[in-house]
């Protein structure tokens, strides 16, 4: 197996494990709820324009476009 395939498999396994972690899920839900109550997503810009999204969302959109 080539190194990039090993890395992808490791990532897949880690993401699967994170999805099953109930403590992580609970902490994530608490963080999202708290962040949303403070308009966390309203404080970002992309190329000088407000985006009203989480920063990782705009990076994902850029990946889709490219």
- Domain of 61 in residue numbering reads as 38-66
Q: pLDDT 10s per residue in the chain (66 long)?
A: 799 999 999 999 999 999 999 999 999 999 999 999 999 999 998 889 998 988 888 889 888 998
**Cα-based angle 11, 5, 13 (whole degrees, multiple of 5):** 25
Q: How far is CA 24 from CA 14, 28, 34, 37, 49, in A?
A: 13, 6, 15, 20, 32
Give domain status of residue 51, yes or no. yes
Give domain status of residue 50, yes or no. yes
Q: How many domains does the chain have?
A: 1
Give domain status of residue 64, yes or no. yes
pLDDT at position 61, please?
A: 87
Give domain status of residue 47, yes or no. yes
Joined tokens for residue 14: 């880690």
Write down the pTM of the prediction.
0.64
């Amino acid at each position: 197996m080539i190194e990039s395939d090993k890395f992808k498999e490791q990532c897949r396994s880690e993401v699967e494990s994170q999805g099953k972690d109930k403590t992580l899920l609970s902490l994530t839900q608490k963080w999202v709820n708290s962040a949303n109550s403070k308009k966390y997503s309203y404080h970002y810009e992309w190329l000088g324009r407000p985006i009203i999204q989480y920063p990782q969302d705009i990076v994902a959109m850029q990946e889709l476009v490219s």
